[in-house]
Amino acid sequence: MKNLYLATGLAMALVQPASAEVRINGFANLVGGITSSDDSLYGFSDEIDFSEQSLFALQVSSNVSDKLTATAQLLARGNEDFDVEFEWAYLSYQVNDKVAITAGRVRTPLFRYSASLDVGYSQHWISAPNGMYNVPANNLDGIRIDYSTFQGDWEIYLQGAYGTFSNPVFGGDFEGKNTFVLTAEATYDWFKVRGVYGVAKSTLSGIAEAEAALQAISTASQPLAEYLRLDDDTSTFSGVGIDIDHFTWFIGSEYTLIDIEDSFFSEQTAFYVTAGIRRGKWTPAVTYETFDSNNDIKGLSFLTPFPAPVQQALLPAVAGVQVVNMSEYDILSASVRYDLEANIALKAELTKRNDDLDSQGDATLLRFAVNYVF
């Protein structure tokens, strides 16, 4: 219902002034992929698929006044049967040439490519590193303040966002309340550095297996079950990034850490480095990424008061609710982009995943894509 009110209000803002100019543009990613043998990666299998990462989007915007702009982005994803949803829907007020205030459903400023995450045409790869960018908080229902200025030869860009998010994850619902994110970015000619910190009150619900395990644990230790349950717990997100772009060649890297200390959730670290060269219409690149949430079992101190047989009986449930969230792997990708037209890019990408915990997670994926904007 909240999203309906938001969409209705935005639609009224878009159509109210009869003389206002309405701008319509969009983008699309047509992506095909196939893995080798019985591998599975990013939703692709050994049967070629054209819907898993394909999408189509329209963005409509209008100047409500000299300082107020209404924007809505409608997006249809192939892996959701191309059902159309509001990805963004917001009103933006330009206070002055340095400050803008945006309210509604906005992109959470977590990553280097957050603002253009779905716009494949704007990137050299087919998709941003999945282990890092696939988080449930990429969109935020709330308010964001953008501030930009210059300090000497440095361009400074600050963003602060506050609101809530809710997304499906692990077959359940992950919700974040009182979410606050602060991003700082500084650019000097070809060099850019950024940092981000975020905090939220997070709740994970609707996962039958986890609820059953926690219920079993609570019969022996209610405090342990409450410790492991992810219910209104403080989650933190932090990250840093560096980009060097000399136009004919570039290199970029990001590192992020996500932690929800008082819960079964295992700390996650993600890292990537990417580099490429631009030669005419061609952009070959290579990307290396790592993801690690393989950590020690949490909450074992709650078991120490119990006799050894009881500890042994509880340990499988305590460990089981956590190990399903643990993963450790690295991925190496080689990609090439060819700019067919000013608004059309053709891409191919070969990805090799090496799973450090389970060789069944090893996979090789070949993808190809057509990205365009209009």
The pLDDT tens digits along the chain (374 residues) read: 444 444 444 444 455 554 568 999 999 999 999 999 889 999 999 999 999 999 999 999 999 999 999 999 999 999 999 999 999 999 999 999 999 999 999 999 999 999 999 999 999 999 999 999 999 999 999 999 999 999 999 999 999 999 999 999 888 999 999 999 999 999 999 999 999 999 999 999 998 888 888 998 998 899 999 999 999 999 999 999 999 999 999 999 999 999 998 899 999 999 999 999 999 999 999 999 999 999 999 999 999 899 998 889 889 989 988 998 899 999 999 999 999 999 999 999 999 999 999 999 999 999 999 999 99
pTM of the model: 0.91
How far apart CA 346 and CA 126 sit, in angstroms, is: 9
Beta bridge partners of 374: none
DSSP-assigned letter for residue 358: -
How far apart CA 239 and CA 243 sit, in angstroms, is: 14
DSSP-assigned letter for residue 303: G
How far apart CA 164 and CA 117 sit, in angstroms, is: 19
How far apart CA 22 and CA 64 sit, in angstroms, is: 10
Confidence at residue 8, expressed as pLDDT on a 0 to 100 scale = 45
Could you name the CATH architecture of 38-52+95-373? Beta Barrel (2.40)
How far apart CA 268 and CA 365 sit, in angstroms, is: 24
SS3 state of residue 228: helix
Distance set, CA 247 to CA 186, 189, 244 (Å): 18, 11, 9
Q: Which long-range contacts (CB under 8 A, 24 or more apart) does 16-21 make?
A: 16/64, 17/62, 17/64, 20/62, 20/63, 20/64, 21/62, 21/63
Confidence at residue 261, expressed as pLDDT on a 0 to 100 scale = 86
CB neighbour class for 237 (10 Å; exposed up to 12, middle 13-18, buried from 19) = buried
How far apart CA 357 and CA 323 sit, in angstroms, is: 11
Distance set, CA 120 to CA 65, 224, 296 (Å): 31, 45, 37
Confidence at residue 135, expressed as pLDDT on a 0 to 100 scale = 95
How far apart CA 237 and CA 28 sit, in angstroms, is: 30
Per-residue tokens: 255 = 């590192």
How far apart CA 248 and CA 274 sit, in angstroms, is: 14
* The residue count for the chain: 374
Cβ 55 vs Cβ 44: under 8 Å: no
Confidence at residue 226, expressed as pLDDT on a 0 to 100 scale = 94
How far apart CA 131 and CA 73 sit, in angstroms, is: 25
Confidence at residue 19, expressed as pLDDT on a 0 to 100 scale = 53
Confidence at residue 17, expressed as pLDDT on a 0 to 100 scale = 52
Cβ 59 vs Cβ 25: under 8 Å: yes
- The phi-psi region of residue 293 (left if phi > 0; otherwise alpha if psi is between -120 and 50; otherwise beta) is alpha
